[in-house]
Amino acid sequence: ALFQHLADCTLFLYISLLVGTMTTLLGDALRGMSLDTDEYVSLMTKLIGDVKHVQNNPRQGLVPSEGVMVPHLMEVLGPHTTESGGPLIVEQLVYKDGRPNVKITYPGTEPELTVGLIGSHLDVVPANPETWERDPFALTVEGDRLHGRGTTDCLGHVGMITLLFKALAEKKPALRRSVVALFIVGEEGGESGVGVDMVVQSGRIDELKNGTCFWIDSADSQPCTGTAGAMQWHLKATGRLFHSGLPHRGINSLELASEAMAIVQRRFYEDFPAHELEEKYGFATPSTMKPTQVECARGALNQIPPWTTISGDVRLSPFYDPVAVMEKVGGYLKDINDNIESVPTRGPCSKYTLEGDDVDVKRGKVEITWTDDVESVRQMEGIACDLDSPGLKALIDSTKEVKGSAKPYAITGSLPLVRQMKDAGFDVQISGYGLSSTYHADNEYALLSDMKDAFQILLRVISIADKEDYGKDV
């Protein structure tokens, strides 16, 4: 009996030590909290059920009404707001009717100190039900998978963070730092004057400069240390329409556009090669400039097209200036036009200049336009997060404890305003808990288990940030 008692005690101590080891990063104030999966599925059912109204693509005439999401959030948060006698401060920050950004604050005892969970957005990219295997506008639960538009990007995060704040309000832990969430609008459409740009400009989250802002809108449950800038362009070549049986009397805009594109790309990669810091941050690819669409004048197949437009984008690593790229590319086009005779041709009858009194177009030309102006390009500039940030260390340590390993990465996807926020004094760190494989894709889904883990990771981040020695060992 004595030996059995000793064995039982040893086993108890082992289990206690094991449990203690597993929760070393989670302070006493936040222990015992977890994502209520039934409530999460219920909330997501309501959010995805209204997702048709928050599709965002202005070029397709789709302007979201993110306000339809707010009642679902308030159904969860309302009983815990200050108006209802609870601790949560919920504000709607509106810069365009029907499109509120939602700010949630769980006040700390030292309100000048903060930790921010920002960037999760209330709009989604469009979905075409005809190309989906399931209804994109309804939540479908299949085992661990939650199917529907917005489950990964980004309503899955919105739902999870909403329930995290409900859990804080119910447990009422005494935290030094205020925990602040900001759900934003207008993220997918690249809009200005409606979303996080206005929130920052109006100073409504200035308090978040007194801590780390965790931007929750990436994927794969790992810290993201950097993003790229995004710039869309349209290269148009103008030639001369003529019968294809007399090609020497026309200027083939399709050939000119192709050759000009080759010159522009070659010079771009010479001027903006892979940067030495990209490897340090873990970028999978360097800066790129590539065509993604082509369009030409619609005519008969026996006509040389008078104009051709090649469109595409630049994905620019954060170590290059996007405005410098715009200026350089403009210079490439000027050189092509000034030396059009030197542009390679295709075959003995291909040419980009013509002579003759009866010729209305004597010289081909190329021009480039950028979809966005300089201000908008700056808003989509890439970020290289501070690798020495205590917030990044907290995120890495928390991810490692919950997921078993942490593998920070950088990606040439883009997020709005993060670079400007960093330049304005915010410590911005990035993570996300959907799946990159289903981002913006047909049949989008997220994993319920990943959202449960995300809840635990963010609890640990908050716990670490709340310690008095936060940042002193970095």
- Residue 276 has a CB neighbour count (10 Å cut-off) of 8
3-state secondary structure of 195: coil
Residue 413: is it exposed, middle or buried by C-beta count within 10 angstroms (0-12/13-18/19+)? Answer: middle
Q: Which residues are catalytic?
A: 123, 187
SS (H, E, C) 349-397: CCCCECCCCCCCCCECEEEEEECCCHHHHHHCCCCECCCCCHHHHHHHH
Q: Give me 157's structure tokens.
A: 């995060």
What is the amino acid identity at position 34? S
CA 106/CA 114 separation, integer angstroms: 10
Q: Cα separations (Å) of 247 from 242, 255, 260, 350?
A: 7, 12, 19, 7
DSSP code per residue over 108-177: -SSTT-EEEEEEEES-B----GGG-SS-TTS-EEETTEEESTTTTTTHHHHHHHHHHHHHHHHH----SS
CA 420/CA 200 separation, integer angstroms: 10
Backbone phi, psi, residue 181, to 5°: -110, 150
